[in-house]
Amino acid sequence: MELLARLQHHGAATRLIDTSKSVLVALWFCCVSEPNKTGALIGVHTNHLGGYEGETDRRKYQEVIKGLKGVPHPLTWEPPSITKRIAAQHSQFLYSEVKKDKWGSLALPRDKGATYIFAIPSTLKTKCIEILQEAFDIRHLTLFPDLDGFGQANSHNKYEFYNNRW
């Protein structure tokens, strides 16, 4: 699972759904991806999750997947803070048995108050990012405190004062 977490954080496709325990960090990711489309900020109440939060899951991947059969809700897994990026993003991962559902392939709980979905229109995304950066210092540079993040935050296509905090 730790290898999958590292791969996911460096852009590889896995069956893990990258989430954050911080709604502000989640909002930032919602707003920076697909800036011209409506985004979905999804929250799942912790009473409707299973899994390993803050514990090391030492099972092999095949054991984890086999154990998903018939589990009606997603499981959460919090990786040990193996990288500064995972710590900065308050990372957790959700995974479940693969579902064929209009909501997607993750088994989201349908009980009242279990899952919240907020639409973030493209017209609000720029303003949300501005507020997150200026009021909470949530920006590319603070969420990606590693070599990859530094390279992106200081790339040629960023405007001169992109990383200024005030």
- Specify the residue for token string 């349908």: 110
Per-residue pLDDT at 105 = 85
Measuring CA to CA, which residue among 20, 27, 144, 44 is closest to residue 103?
44
The span from the CA of 35 to the CA of 40, in Å, is 12
Containing 52, the helix (H) or strand (E) segment is: strand 50-52
**For the chain (length 166 residues), average pLDDT per consecutive 10?**
78 87 97 95 91 74 86 84 82 87 84 94 97 94 80 62 56
Distance between CA 108 and CA 42 in Å, rounded? 10
* Distance, CA of 163 to CA of 19 (rounded, Å): 24
CA 69 from chain centre, in angstroms, equals: 24
pLDDT at 84: 86
pTM of the predicted structure, to 2 decimals: 0.81
pLDDT score of 147: 75
- φ/ψ of 150, rounded to 5, equals -60, -45
Q: Which two tokens stand for residue 60?
A: 């092999």
Instruction: Determine the pLDDT at residue 72.
Output: 86
Q: What's the pLDDT at 54? A: 67
pLDDT (0 to 100) of residue 62: 86
